[in-house]
Amino acid sequence: MRSASQRRELLKAVFEEAQGCVRCPLHETRTRVVFGAGNADADLMFVGEAPGANEDRQGLPFVGQAGKLLDRLLAEIGLERGDVFICNTIKCRPPDNRDPYPHELDSCQPYLFRQIDLIEPIVICTLGNFATKLLRADPTGISRLHGQAEVRVIGPRAVRLYPLFHPAAALYTPATLETLRTDFARIPELLAQGAPPQPEPVESVPEPAPETDDLVAAAEQQLGLF
């Protein structure tokens, strides 16, 4: 069992690795790696599709209008960004905001799985169609699945997977916004159920190499760790 401080240090090590990633061609067009940000000890995790232009410039997830709506929805259930962890299925922006290609997803999947392994969330909310289909490994769309929680093993960890409409889809559609707000209201109930039984561990995340104070400070600032 890792302590909170151990998980935090290991997550920073994965962040440092991702900063220099060249596993797929997206490293040639990115401005910054968008690793994810928030609480390294979060019970609640959000996974979107891919970084957009604003995220690519700032290196942080959900910083545009959809991110502001996400903040408002969190506030309505008594949470804020400092309570959760937010990331995407891939860490670099695809050109022209196209959908990620399969080989890009395969290359980036280990980062997402290691984030899940280290943060140990109880609930993972998939935001939108793409992330929902990917994490469920099933083509069923978000319109049929939203607001329906299920226990799924994602990478190394069993979680309560909870598909939600993407906030971007709700920005200009009042009906979708009300549906998203209703689904959000169930999150505290899901968190209160606690983590589902876990599968037997297969392989532990390797311990990070010693870091300088400068590297540690830079990682904490970029990750926005609390």
In a domain, 214, yes or no: no
pLDDT at 65 over 60: yes
pLDDT at 202 over 90: no
pLDDT at 83 over 70: yes
Q: What is the pLDDT of residue 225?
A: 60
* Rounded CA separation 52/60 (Å): 10
Name the residue range of residue 138's domain.
4-194
Largest CA distance in the chain: 51
In a domain, 207, yes or no: no
pLDDT, tens digit (0-9, with 9 covering 90-100), for 117-171: 999 999 999 999 999 999 999 999 999 999 999 999 999 999 999 999 999 999 9
In a domain, 216, yes or no: no
pLDDT at 208 over 60: no
pLDDT at 205 over 60: no
Q: What is the mean pLDDT of residues 7-33?
A: 95
Min mean pLDDT across 15-29, 163-177, 182-196, 206-220 is at 206-220
Q: What is the pLDDT of residue 2?
A: 80
Q: What is the pLDDT of residue 210?
A: 44
- Mean pLDDT for the chain overall: 91
Check which CATH number belongs to the domain holding 172 and give it. 3.40.470.10
pLDDT at 204 over 80: no
In a domain, 208, yes or no: no
Our count of domains for the chain comes to 1
Q: Grade residue 3 by pLDDT with cuts at 50, 70 and 90.
A: confident
